[in-house]
Structure 1
Amino acid sequence: MTAPEASAREAFTDVASAREASVPTRFAASRRRVVALVWKDWRELARNRQALAPLVVVPLVFVVLLPTAVILLGANPAITSMVTGMQSFLDHLPAGVMPAGLDEAQTVVYAVVVFFLAPLFLVIPVMVASVTASSSFVGEKERRTIEGLLSTPLSDRELVLGKVLASMVLSVGIAWAAFLVYAVLVNVLAWPILGRVFFPTWTWAVVIGLLVPLVAFLATSLIVAVSGRSTTMQGAQGVAVLVVLPVLALVVGQATGVMLFDAGIALAAAAVLLVVDLAVFPLVARGFDRERIVTRMT
């Protein structure tokens, strides 16, 4: 076993030992091993500045630049009318979804902040997962720590679950933090226009509370599965495109006014995603093969 592989095994063992339960049951032991793997991955990610950069930049674009531009444009309807697709979006808003008594500027700000930008927040966990989950196994190989990891007491299911949770929890945490920043920012910037706190809404509660974790789990599971079969991180990241396509289709649908992303659609999407997640993870766990990973990556 090489020095990096031995170091990876020792790092896992140290973290696992630090979290020993007072009553060692089988479930507790399994949980400790998974948590130890999650902490090991987080520590390695914290030392990788190149990977941390997109985790900060992408959310900043969605929660700072886009809403700021929307609210500033919304304050000037003449400029708003020049934005491609904006008028079509406003014209196709269903009756009854907007508060009564809004003028033109208020309508633009409320509609875009509340409805138009909602699906974009589903892109955040997918983008984070594409950075973190893609290195789950192929990254271990590139760091020469894969054999040390595979020689730990972790079962195949625990290995997959630990890698999925390490990325998913981080993805959801970043999305939730971005949401808090977004909520404060849009209410502060739009106060001179709307004169009240108008955000968040029930639609956003469903999006952030249900859809973001479900999308993050699905994206992470698929990317981790691909990472176990890839020889490069770029190949593992390619599967993120397949996950983000439905989200982009939803964004386009809202921009053209074809479909409004409201609470009902969000709840229906959450129900479908829950079923998909429950079906996908067992398949990913059963498809994990230690020997195949070693032979394909050596």
Structure 2
Amino acid sequence: MINRHRVQALMRKDWRELARNKQVIAPLVIVPLMFVVIIPAAVLLLGNNSAALTTTVAGLQGFLDNLPEQALPAGYSSGQLMVYAVIVYFMAPFFLLIPVIVASLTASSSFVGEKERGTIEGLLYTPLTDRELVLGKVLASVIPSVLLTWASFLVYTVLVNTLGAALMGGVFFPTWTWAIIILALAPLVAFLATCLIVAISGRSTTMQGAQGTVVLIVVPVLALIAGQATGLMLFDTLIAGVAAAALLVIDVAVFVTVAGRFRREPIVTRL
């Protein structure tokens, strides 16, 4: 039986340490800012200039060439269709990259960071069970990454509807697919990435080594972005729903495996 109070105490401790780490806080602001403000603002401001827009956004022309006509609403002009395609489809996978990046920054220091701060021995000798220790470390990274993703989505929604209302003839965002992406896919991707990162962190001896290995976890998300950018794999409601169901099963399996294989004695010996 997992003791909720012990897990929450561990999470609060990790959040206090995270708030004091300026090297982690800065990227948590910069990365969402680029995806949520800079790119969509440029797209909407260049909405009536198709040539400038396809030149500015890398891979956009290939994406538009492969985008099925049925994916776009009828009655839009060419400029409106381009803006809709970018805001609704092209940008969707980037909102799965945000929780992965946040998790990689916070979770990669879970056990290695404790060692570098000289607190690992005290943590491993607490009454926390192995499963509680893993769960506390995972949730301490998942919750901030999901909240930051949701906050980024709210900013993105307000921004695109404010800047795009005149061009698009009113509010046009979000869609049902985005609801699934933000409410289901983002938390599930964050949980999966964090479980794997915590497992890696437990086997690493330095922060640099843990963060270097984390790149392997980011690669599948980057591949997803590349597939979306070329139009080869388009997020729609069906695909997003199937992906969420599959990820839920994978998340449970991965957490059970990571928690089941976690042993604090080798960490004490290694660190």
TM-score interval w.r.t. the shorter chain? over 0.9
Q: Which runs of 5+ in 1 are unaligned?
A: 1-25
Residue by residue over 1:176-206, the C-alpha shift from the partner in whole angstroms, topping out at 9 and shown as x without a partner, is 1000000000111111211210111011001
**What letter is aligned with 1:213?**
P
**2:32 aligned residue:** 59
Equivalent in 88, 113, 132 of residue 139 of structure 1: 113
Equivalent in 65, 68, 80 of residue 41 of structure 2: 68
Contact kept? 1:225, 1:284, Cα under 8 Å: yes
RMSD between aligned alpha carbons? 1.3
> What are the within-5 Å matches in structure 2 for residues 240-259 of structure 1?
240-259=214-233
Query: 2:85 aligned with 1:111, yes or no?
Result: yes
Residue by residue over 1:246-270, the C-alpha shift from the partner in whole angstroms, topping out at 9 and shown as x without a partner, is 2212211122222211111111111
Contact kept? 1:81, 1:87, Cα under 8 Å: yes
**What letter is aligned with 1:59?**
P
In structure 1, distance between residues paired with 2:28 and 2:151: 12
Mean Cα displacement is larger for which, 92-101 or 216-225?
92-101
Q: Which runs of 5+ in 2 are unaligned?
A: none
Equivalent in 20, 38, 45 of residue 18 of structure 2: 45
**What letter is aligned with 1:120?**
F
Residue by residue over 1:230-281, the C-alpha shift from the partner in whole angstroms, topping out at 9 and shown as x without a partner, is 0111221234322222221221112222221111111111111111111111
| Residue 81 of structure 1: how far off its partner (Å) | 4.2
**1:152 aligned residue:** 126
**What letter is aligned with 1:56?**
V
Query: 2:97 aligned with 1:128, yes or no?
Result: no
Equivalent in 89, 113, 122 of residue 63 of structure 2: 89
**What letter is aligned with 2:85?**
A
Equivalent in 151, 173, 188 of residue 177 of structure 1: 151
In structure 2, distance between residues paired with 1:200 and 1:109: 13
In structure 2, distance between residues paired with 1:69 and 1:226: 38
In structure 2, distance between residues paired with 1:289 and 1:33: 18
| Residue 85 of structure 1: how far off its partner (Å) | 3.1
In structure 1, distance between residues paired with 2:127 and 2:16: 20
**Aligned residues between the structures:** 270
> What are the within-5 Å matches in structure 2 for residues 233-244 of structure 1?
233-244=207-218
In structure 1, distance between residues paired with 2:244 and 2:218: 16
**What letter is aligned with 1:215?**
V
Between structure 1 and structure 2, the one with the greater Rg is: 1
In structure 2, distance between residues paired with 1:249 and 1:50: 27
In structure 2, distance between residues paired with 1:258 and 1:80: 21
Q: TM-score, normalised by structure 2?
A: 0.96
Mean Cα displacement is larger for which, 212-221 or 284-293?
284-293
